[in-house]
Structure 1
Amino acid sequence: MTVPLKPGSVRFENVQKRFGAVTAIHDLSLEIEPGTLVTLLGPSGCGKTTTLRMLAGLEQPSAGRILIGGRDVTALPANERDVSMVFQSYALFPHMSIADNVAYGLRSGGLSRRAAHERAEEGLALVGLNGFGERLPSELSGGQQQRVAVARALVLEPQVLLLDEPLSNLDTRLRRHVRTEIRELQQRLGFTAVYVTHDQDEALAVSDRIVVMKDGIMAQAGSPRELYEQPASAFIADFIGEANVVPCDVVRTSDGRLGARLGGMVHAIRADSAREGAAKLAIRPNAMFLGDRRPGFLDGRVLSAAYLGDHIEYEVETAFGRLFITDPAVETVRPIASEVGVGLHDRGVALIPA
């Protein structure tokens, strides 16, 4: 079986989608390179699922073009687009064996039963389910059912594999395991995948690139590291991982470099586009640490403390509002209402462009 040895590219050109008077997608232009896994990430109602459904042919754009492998598929029905979709609900037929489920699309396409089942067994082997073909879906775990859904999509040899919230029905530990399996399979086979989720950790773990959407607009696109370390807005900083967003002043330090001044603290910044003046700083919870009050630290007062095994979560009141801090120093929990100094590590602090 030649599972997507020639992965396709995807291009959205000025795509819009309107539902009556409501515009769900505003002028989306996006290119996805062959053999990459790109995640559409955002809160409910941001337009990510609508974008995926337009790519699948389940919704038609109101304007613009969609191309797969350089071919304009905007007006084509779903069955002519050379894509396969893995649904949130798995959509397995409960009365069919696993092999019959995986072979279903092949049989519908006219392949003989014998040939379809041979390819179905190859597909099950790809996802680590050798020997499971005769079982029913009810005899498999949630993670195994998800792998069956992926195998069923892959045996059709699509140019692009679409995954719509594929892990949302799994518990936390299993979700972490299955996302690793999906990423390993995509990298090993080299197929193009478009993955929709609202889970930031999931997106960071599986993606080559992440497209963050908000209110039908592409808010920022980039690698997981770029979005986490160089957020383009306060929304991105708080959505991709948690962040404390505080006002600061960008000032010129004595050595000629730029720093972000918070009260009596000046923190060196690396942003190439930084300019002197008012700005905002995104500070990750693990980028701060607590100590005694002293020069160069922010004065704070502990409002709450929660022990979580490998770290303590604090809320600390400062002149810049409440800061959420995760501290790995679990030997001693600082008491409520105690006065502390808040320091910053070098990493985990990013200047948000004006």
Structure 2
Amino acid sequence: MKTRGAVEFRNVSKRFGQFTAIPDLSLSIEPGELVTLLGPSGCGKTTTLRMLAGLESPTAGEILIGGQDVTRLPADRRDVSMVFQSYALFPHMTVAQNVAYGLESGGMKAAEARERATDALTLVGLEGLGARLPAELSGGQQQRVAVARALVLEPQVLLLDEPLSNLDARLRRRVRTEIRELQQRLGFTAVYVTHDQEEALAVSDRIVVMKEGVVAQMGSPRELYEAPASEFIADFIGEANVVEGRVLSVSGEEAQVDVGGAVIVLPARGLGEGPARLAMRSNAARVRSGGEGVPGTVASSAYLGDHVEYEIDGALGRIFVVDDESDTPLPVGAPVVLDLRPRGLALIPESA
């Protein structure tokens, strides 16, 4: 790709009648960065993407691509390409014709368009399949054709709208890896929309979590997973348990925290002494039948091959725990202790 475009939203809002979908969005995306807009249905992520694509007009504010104000430009003058959830391939055209279509529609000679299409198919690992019809390809291959068709236009920004939602779980894992590897190899700017937390963690340089049209938290996948800014983020990214605790003391950036009777040293995250709430990941505790730890009782257990899933009742309330060290589930009603580990536990700042 020839260009990498920066993207900027400046105080962008969007209303549909009396409903405000996006109240005031300011967001910058660096050239060559893959940023994922993540959130539940109705959070505003797709509306944001459509405004960037030129398929919706903002009510107020400015949108810039590569430093140019494109707020009022039509979609075909924005130098972006979009990969849709449905692929939108022409069934009567060959794969190569699908990829070349946008170039030829823009006035490029057929021979040059075919050559560019062949190069694009090679980029996405579909070399030699240009003569096939879309129906003769697998779902994953069709998705790569859709990506090649977008990339061949050499846009400043590639937009991906729930690109893997039509694939089964195993194929989603493979294709998301291919998209990420391609983006890193070519260095194009990409804005990716999904509601799938695991998908967002796997492909993104940064994740923007949206709630009711507002950015709830923005950061790297690791930042959002290990240091959620709110209970909403803690629950939405990785489905953490939210438990009660108490900050016993703070020294510099570290806090001693009582969690169900166990004392753990954690980043203080701006909190002082007193009651606090914590995000507790499902792998933050080991389930033991005896010894030192937070006491509890098995409320349910399920053997899932490479791990056992428990619900434990006890000092922390009812929590969900995944144990990948045991292949024999403890029975319901069995007394247990939880051996807590600092990794997977985080104080939630908003509880201050």
Structure-1-length-normalised TM-score: 0.96
1:329 Cα deviation (Å)? Answer: 2.4
Structure 2 stretches lacking a partner, 5+ long: none
**Where do residues 92-241 of structure 1 align in structure 2 (5 Å cutoff)?**
92-241=89-238
Distance in 2 of aligned mates of 1:82 and 1:142 = 27
Is the alpha carbon distance of 1:235 and 1:93 closer, same or farther for their aligned partners in structure 2, counting shifts above 3 Å?
same
2:325 maps to 1:325: no
1:253 Cα deviation (Å)? Answer: 7.6
Per-residue CA shift, 1:133-192, capped at 9, x if unaligned?
Answer: 110000000000000000000010100000000000000001000000000000000000
1:255 Cα deviation (Å)? Answer: 12
3-state SS, counterpart of residue 184 of structure 1:
helix
Equivalent residue letter for 1:216: G
Equivalent residue letter for 2:218: A
2:60 maps to 1:63: yes
Equivalent residue letter for 2:80: V
Q: Which moved more, 1:82-91 or 1:315-324?
A: 315-324
3-state SS, counterpart of residue 286 of structure 1:
coil
**Where do residues 189-338 of structure 1 align in structure 2 (5 Å cutoff)?**
189-252=186-249, 258-292=255-289, 294-295=291-292, 297-338=293-334
The CA RMSD measured in Å over matched residues stands at: 1.5
Per-residue CA shift, 1:223-259, capped at 9, x if unaligned?
Answer: 0011011100011011111201011111118999522
Equivalent residue letter for 1:57: G
3-state SS, counterpart of residue 269 of structure 1:
strand
Structure 1 segments of 4 or more deviating over 3 A?
A: 253-257, 292-295
Structure 1 stretches lacking a partner, 5+ long: none
3-state SS, counterpart of residue 8 of structure 1:
coil
Partner of residue 20 from structure 1, selected from 8, 17, 22: 17
Distance in 2 of aligned mates of 1:129 and 1:332 = 45
Distance in 2 of aligned mates of 1:263 and 1:128 = 52
Equivalent residue letter for 1:152: R
Equivalent residue letter for 1:55: L
Q: Which moved more, 1:330-339 or 1:257-266?
A: 257-266
Distance in 2 of aligned mates of 1:207 and 1:181 = 13
> What is the percent sequence identity of the aligned residues?
68
3-state SS, counterpart of residue 285 of structure 1:
coil
Partner of 1:80: 77
Distance in 2 of aligned mates of 1:261 and 1:288 = 15
Aligned pair count reads 350
Q: Does structure 2 retain, via aligned residues, the 8 Å contact 1:13–1:28?
A: yes
Q: Does structure 1 retain, via aligned residues, the 8 Å contact 2:250–2:268?
A: no
Q: Does structure 2 retain, via aligned residues, the 8 Å contact 1:209–1:223?
A: yes
